[in-house]
Amino acid sequence: MGQFIQFAINGLMSGAIYALIAVGIVSVYKATKVVNFAHGYLIMFGAYFYFTFAVIIPGMEGAPAWLASWKPAWMVEMREGLTMFSPLGAVLDWAANIPRIVFGLLGALFCNALLGLLVERTLMRPLMGQSVFAMIMVTVGLISILSGAASLIWTADAAFVPHIAPNTPIRFELFGTMIFLFGADIVNMIIALLIFGGIVAMVKFTKGGVAIRATAEDQSTAYSMGISVPKVFSRAWVLACTTGAVAGAILATRNGISPSLGLFGFSVLAIVLMGGLDSYVGCFIAAMSVGVLEAMTQWKLGGEWAEIVPYVAVLVVIIFRPHGLMGQKEVERI
């Protein structure tokens, strides 16, 4: 029973990250009716931007010493005498990196937002009014552009980036089994859930959210009601890229960074299809379900089998519900 709970918690933490990534795909689709196949590579850029501002720039000559490592006298005194795996030591090591973590997150958010705005203005906006299929194919072509650009700009993989939260090991006994978690994973899950909930509330209750929903229903009617559809498109892309920057920073601390990180987006795209392309709630349910299913599959069958879980799950769901768990069913009249 204890092992079951251990893997279930691990699955929920992974599911929260999936939900954070999925919210970007759903936001773009709700506003533009475009499935963004390149979202995983926008997340990859967010991870590299975090690496740049949190690791590369603080390590350059001329960078302020406090940005590279903030170690006031009181912190040095507290660190002396602590064992290697001391929880307090882990917190103090994280605290020394707070300036570079904050700088990295702000830089990643700003640069990824600019990247999203650039993509929307130069690639998406000229196709407004054209076939949605053409816009989708642009996102497919964008995959090669972003992957190649990342390989040219960042010439090596990044094995280390500072954790967003203290990575303190947490142990407790449950049903006779020792449960082992990391503090950074728990905080990452909380951050992901808070951002997801905040975006859903924004779409439901704010004027900007109403504009997104109105544009999703009928762009022509939204125009006639005074809604600037191009601005809605821009906001959706910027929102997707900023959430992608946070997801990229979290994934960077969990898995390291390489151009292959962009492939992660295809697994999440399968989760979005499973939950419903236009449903935040459906994608949340699908993300949590797939996260737990992956963890249980890894427990019983091994990591190789866990990789195919999102695709098997979406195939099973769309056979019975082609529009996803909670997606809006579209009726076409001839």
Residue 8 CB-half CA count within 13 A: 5
Residue 85 has pLDDT above 70, yes or no: no
Mean pLDDT is lowest, of 8-17, 20-29, 81-90, 236-245, for 81-90
SS3 for 139-187, per residue? HHHHHHHHHHHHHHHCCCCECCCCCCCCCCEEEEEECCEEEEEEHHHHH
Residue 333 has pLDDT above 60, yes or no: no
Which of 79 and 123 is assigned the larger pLDDT?
A: 123
**What is the pLDDT, as a whole number, of residue 142?**
94
**What is the pLDDT, as a whole number, of residue 37?**
94
Residue 71 has pLDDT above 90, yes or no: no
The answer to whether residue 326 sits within a structural domain is: no
The answer to whether residue 327 sits within a structural domain is: no
The answer to whether residue 54 sits within a structural domain is: yes
The answer to whether residue 328 sits within a structural domain is: no
Q: Give dist(CA 155, CA 5) in Å, integer.
A: 41
**What is the pLDDT, as a whole number, of residue 330?**
61
Looking at the chain, the number of H-run helices and the number of E-run strands are 15, 2
Which of 78 and 156 is assigned the larger pLDDT?
A: 78
The answer to whether residue 325 sits within a structural domain is: no
Residue 177's domain comprises: 2-320
**What is the pLDDT, as a whole number, of residue 334?**
40
The answer to whether residue 329 sits within a structural domain is: no
Q: What share of the chain is helix, strand, coil (3-state, %, to 5)?
A: 75, 5, 25
Q: What is the pLDDT of residues 166-186, one digit of tens each?
A: 888 888 877 777 888 888 899
Q: What is the pLDDT of residues 125-149, one digit of tens each?
A: 888 777 888 989 999 999 999 999 9
The answer to whether residue 208 sits within a structural domain is: yes
**What is the pLDDT, as a whole number, of residue 216?**
73
Which of 177 and 198 is assigned the larger pLDDT?
A: 198
Confidence of residue 158 (pLDDT cuts 50, 70, 90): low
Q: How many structural domains compose the chain?
A: 1
Which of 254 and 239 is assigned the larger pLDDT?
A: 239
The answer to whether residue 76 sits within a structural domain is: yes
CATH code: domain of residue 297: 1.10.3470
